[in-house]
Amino acid sequence: MKIMIVSLMLLGTAGVGGPALVGGGGDDAPPVQERPEPQVVRNSADADALYEMVKQARAALRETRTLAGLSAYPAGPQVGRPASRERREVRGEHGGRTGGEEGGAYLAKMTRQDELFANGARLVLQFNPNTQVFAGSVTNTTANPLSQVRVEIHLDNGTELGPTKRVDVGPGQTIPVELGTFGEEFSSWISHPEAGIERGHGAGSEEDGEGHGGGEGRGEHGGREGGGEARGDGVRPQDAAYRPLYNQLRILRGEMHAFEAELKTRSR
């Protein structure tokens, strides 16, 4: 029953969100003239609603795991060797930014990242090969709030993951971070937390600076960031309002894959 619920929710997500993710629209409906809100506002509202649906599907999957006699969450990896490198305050690729994407070496796939960035955000991440998800946290180590905190990961195959949903983080507060890699083949990665509205980025999204002459086209981390995203489980949405949703879908697919693998192992 729970598997059916998860499947129906996924089908509903695909049916409702498909056109928006790829830029399509209704087939026969006449155009509506009175639409006062901008397109970006509508997209953001739709993306938020679908985001919550996928979160509910993930919760239903956890319940299903428990009913099947498994732990609610798939097993994670052993704690890996932490990264020892430190971030330096240098000019970011979008101009004048510090504490975000300041360069640095890529980490081996199973290395555990634990770094304090110049903006005061401490990022802890480690890859779980069972779910194909990077999981960890961001902590605000400053005495002031960090607004609109989000995390991105760049894989060595050129794919960019994220960003995660923007969240305001209070002084001393820690929030969870998850970024899905389902369908990607990679051996190293680099990650960074951003906060606020940066130069080159639009007021609610990463899209404006990245997709039009920004980071993805240049491959500022040395990868083929534009070309790499066509591999894996699909193309990352052009509209950044849907990127946190896309991330959640990747996480859900990884968790479902892990559930299937555990059931097969138990039945042997």
Same domain, 157 and 262: no
Q: Residue 81: inside a domain, yes or no?
A: no
Q: What is the pLDDT of residues 95-128, one digit of tens each?
A: 333 334 445 789 999 999 999 999 999 999 999 9
Tens digit of each residue's pLDDT (9 = 90 or more) over 168-218 = 999 999 999 999 999 999 999 999 999 997 644 444 444 444 433 333 433
| CB neighbour list of residue 86: distance below 8 Å, 6 or more residues apart | 115, 116
DSSP 8-class letter at 78: P
Residue 254 confidence (pLDDT): 97
* 156 φ, ψ (degrees, to nearest 5): -75, -10
Q: What CA–CA distance (Å, rounded) separates 50 from 68?
A: 27
Q: Domain residues for 176?
A: 107-233
Whether 49 and 12 share a structural domain: yes
**pLDDT confidence band for 35 (50 / 70 / 90):** low
Per residue in 64-88, pLDDT (tens digit) is 999 999 999 998 886 555 554 444 3
Residue reference for tokens 């953001």 = 44
Count structural domains, the chain: 2
Whether residue 48 sits in one domain with residue 17: yes
> Is residue 99 domain-resident?
no
Q: Specify which residues 139 forms β-bridges with.
A: 122, 174
- 61 and 119: one domain? no
User: What DSSP string runs through 45-60?
Assistant: HHHHHHHHHHHHHHHH
259 to each of 8, 13, 65, 111, 265, how far by Cα in Å? 17, 20, 7, 24, 10
The verdict on residue 240 lying in a domain is no
For the chain, how many helices (H) and strands (E)? 5, 9
Give dist(CA 105, CA 152) in Å, integer: 15
Together in a domain, 147 and 212: yes
Asked if 132 and 218 sit in the same domain, the reply is: yes
Tell me the pTM: 0.72
Residue 169 CA to residue 140 CA, distance in Å, equals: 6
Shared domain check, 228 and 125: yes
Neighbours of 216 (CB within 10 A): 24
DSSP per position, 159-227: -EE-PPPPEEE-TT-EEEEEEE-TT---SEEEEEEE-S--TTS-TT-SHHHHHTTSHHHHTTTSS-TTG
Please give the mean pLDDT across all residues of the chain.
76
Cα distances from 103 to residues 87, 93, 106, 110, 117, in angstroms, run 8, 9, 9, 20, 11
Q: For position 131, which CATH number holds?
A: 2.60.40
Indicate whether 176 and 228 sit together in one domain.
Answer: yes
